[in-house]
Amino acid sequence: MIHTSLIKPKRKNIREAMSELDFIEDGRYFKHGDTDLFVEFPDVPGQP
């Protein structure tokens, strides 16, 4: 797991950025049609 920040970004901002990279939101994951891998942005403990 890679931590890039301790501040949780809004899901809307994540969705927009991932969409620009051709990822599709599937539940809590983002998937790309060119790979079987997926990306998850888990909640940061202690953040609202």
* Residue 6 is assigned to a structural domain of this protein: no
Q: For residue 39, which of 14, 22, 31, 47 has the smallest C-alpha distance? A: 31
Q: Is residue 47 part of a domain?
A: no
The mean pLDDT of 2-12, rounded to a whole number, is: 70
Top-confidence residue, 48 or 12: 12
pLDDT band with cut points at 50, 70 and 90 for residue 10: confident
Distances, alpha carbon 5 to alpha carbons 32, 34, 38, 43, 46, in Å: 23, 27, 20, 11, 13
Residue 33 counted as domain residue: yes
Judge whether 16 lies within some domain.
yes
Distance CA 30, CA 18 (A): 7
User: Is residue 29 assigned to a domain?
Assistant: yes
Give CA–CA dist 32/21, Å, rounded. 8
Q: Is residue 46 part of a domain?
A: no
Q: Is the overall model pTM greater than 0.95, yes or no? A: no
Number of domains in the chain: 1
Residue with tokens 């403990």: 45
